Chain A
Amino acid sequence: MAQTAEIFTSSIVAVGEFNPAIFSPDWMERNGLIGKDDADSVREGRQGRPLLVSRQVATFETKWFALQVLGNQFSLTSKDALSPAFKDLGVSIFQLFPDTPVTAVGLNFFGHYKLASEDEYHCVGDVLAPKDIWKALYPDEIAGLADLTLRIQRGSRGAPLKTKDEKRIAVQPSSMIRFGVFFSYNDHHDVSASDETNLKSGERVASIIDSEWESSWHDAVRVFDGVLSKTLSK
């Protein structure tokens, strides 16, 4: 049976060199990235997080996204309803900065899944990380899965990788749902090397977000559901 997340969200993270002072709600409104109501909600501090824009850091949030820009990291996180409007925002921001030196961009998805019972909850951890070895080492104590991260790369073992692009899928106990499992999915794209498109790095990032975000979303759902279904059927 297909599993359904209780909470599902996304973030777009880019690594590079950024000028945080640019990223103000006024600038976003002026460039048509957000509407007046969203900008007003930030300026009036209606969304909880205090507006902070300086040379070192920019951080604020609207009803539907949170933005944080440091000198070396850009992070856009969805709140509330996840929709392709979130992707469009990410694309539009990088289209406005085609010359920004970016080395990598990650399309991240997160899901909290509620399991039917405590037994199912432990089943996921036991199947993904069998406890035989740990029980032998700690016979009188409890061993539990806290964090498991898988790295998925294109190619075969021993052969040189053709690309630095990779996916990282992590499984942890959910901190938000009792007997829940938390999944994260990082679709990492390396843009440090030039490619055949001859696009500037900011444009490449915009292009990657535009073309890959939705397929990454679907793949994340497929993987989260697949891991849960396969572990619970063991």
Chain B
Amino acid sequence: MNALTDVSMNLDHFLTVDPILRRQGGAKILEPVTLVNGTTADWNTELAESTSLNRSGVPQRTFAAPLANASVLREVRADSRPLQVWEGTVLKVDRAAGVIQVLLVAKIGEMPRHTGEIDLGSVSPQDQDLVRPGAVFYLTLYERTIPSVENIQELRFRRRPSWSTAQLKQIERDASMFLSKMKALPNAT
């Protein structure tokens, strides 16, 4: 049996679709991937149909045996391009009026920072509890090009739940520096 054709059989027990649909051949087919040993590049999708191997100058590629860890659908097709991305900071939340006052800094091109108001309704339900003064969000205006062209905007709040050791060390260094510059107030006599 061709090693590349029996992948879905090996993975059969991992599939989560309706078993009846699967028996009728309607299950999603998990395709094999080409493993690129040791590289962090991620662009062989354009040559996925290639039958060439060991091309000079290309990292060692091997078709893996049909094990689960080499047999998952990997290709992700994007269909859009960002037109502008703003990093925003919440300045004030007015829940009664249903708006947040924000400071926006453009991430693409040279644009002056500016303030504005954003409707609370445009914040997704999962991000509503993140809306508070000081919270950071990203407002992306993007163009979807496939299947047809449409302009869309997306607002996503930043989620950085943990502090890293490096960040904590930096904070400690900053705090020590500030502390070293502080002087005790003279006692009143």
Question: Which residues of A are at the interface with B, using a C-beta cutoff of 8 A?
Answer: 4-9, 11, 13-15, 20, 31-38, 45, 48-52, 54, 56-57, 59, 61, 64, 66, 68, 70-71, 73, 75, 77-85, 88-89, 91-92, 95-96, 98, 103-106, 108, 110, 146-147, 149, 168, 170, 172-176, 182, 184, 186, 188-189, 197, 199-200, 203, 206-207, 214
- Interface residue count on the B side (C-beta < 8 Å): 56
Residues of B within 8 A of A89 (CB): 159
Contact A57 B72 (CB under 8 A): yes
Contact A32 B41 (CB under 8 A): no
Residues of B within 8 A of A33 (CB): 159, 161
Q: From DSSP, what is the main secondary structure of chain B's interface residues?
A: loop
Q: From DSSP, what is the main secondary structure of chain A's interface residues?
A: mixed
Contact B42 A13 (CB under 8 A): yes
Task: Among B14, B30, B125, B166, point to the contact of A199 (Cβ < 8 A).
Answer: B166
Q: Given A38-B126, A186-B40, list of 10 further CB < 8 A pairs?
A: A8-B78, A14-B40, A35-B126, A36-B125, A81-B82, A170-B43, A172-B47, A188-B40, A197-B166, A199-B165
22 A-B pairs within 8 Å (CB atoms) are namely A6-B145, A49-B73, A50-B28, A57-B68, A57-B69, A59-B74, A64-B154, A80-B142, A81-B154, A82-B80, A84-B85, A88-B160, A98-B165, A106-B39, A106-B41, A108-B40, A108-B41, A108-B42, A146-B47, A175-B46, A203-B164, A206-B164
Task: Among A13, A34, A182, point to the contact of B40 (Cβ < 8 A).
Answer: A13
Contact A36 B126 (CB under 8 A): yes
> Least Cβ distance of A134 to chain B in Å?
16
The answer to whether the Cβ of B79 comes within 8 Å of any Cβ in the partner chain is yes
Residues of A within 8 A of B68 (CB): 54, 56-57
> CA–CA, A66 to B78, complex, Å?
11
Task: Among B45, B79, B158, point to the contact of A85 (Cβ < 8 A).
Answer: B158
Contact A37 B124 (CB under 8 A): yes
From A105, which residue of chain B is reached at the shortest CB distance?
B40
Task: Among A8, A186, A203, A214, point to the contact of B166 (Cβ < 8 A).
Answer: A203
> CA–CA, A68 to B73, complex, Å?
9
Contact A9 B16 (CB under 8 A): no
Task: Among A6, A13, A45, A149, point to the contact of B58 (Cβ < 8 A).
Answer: A149
From B139, which residue of chain A is reached at the shortest CB distance?
A83
From B49, which residue of chain A is reached at the shortest CB distance?
A175
Question: Which residues of B are at the interface with A, using a C-beta cutoff of 8 A?
Answer: 14-17, 28, 30, 35, 38-43, 45-47, 57-58, 67-70, 72-74, 76-82, 85, 87, 107, 124-127, 138, 140, 142, 145-146, 152, 154, 156, 158-166
> CA–CA, A31 to B165, complex, Å?
17
Contact B165 A200 (CB under 8 A): yes
Contact B160 A91 (CB under 8 A): yes
Contact A59 B82 (CB under 8 A): no
Contact A4 B40 (CB under 8 A): no
> CA–CA, A173 to B72, complex, Å?
25
> CA–CA, A81 to B114, complex, Å?
22
Given known A-B contacts A49-B73, A54-B68, A56-B69, A92 and B43 have beta carbons under 8 A apart: no
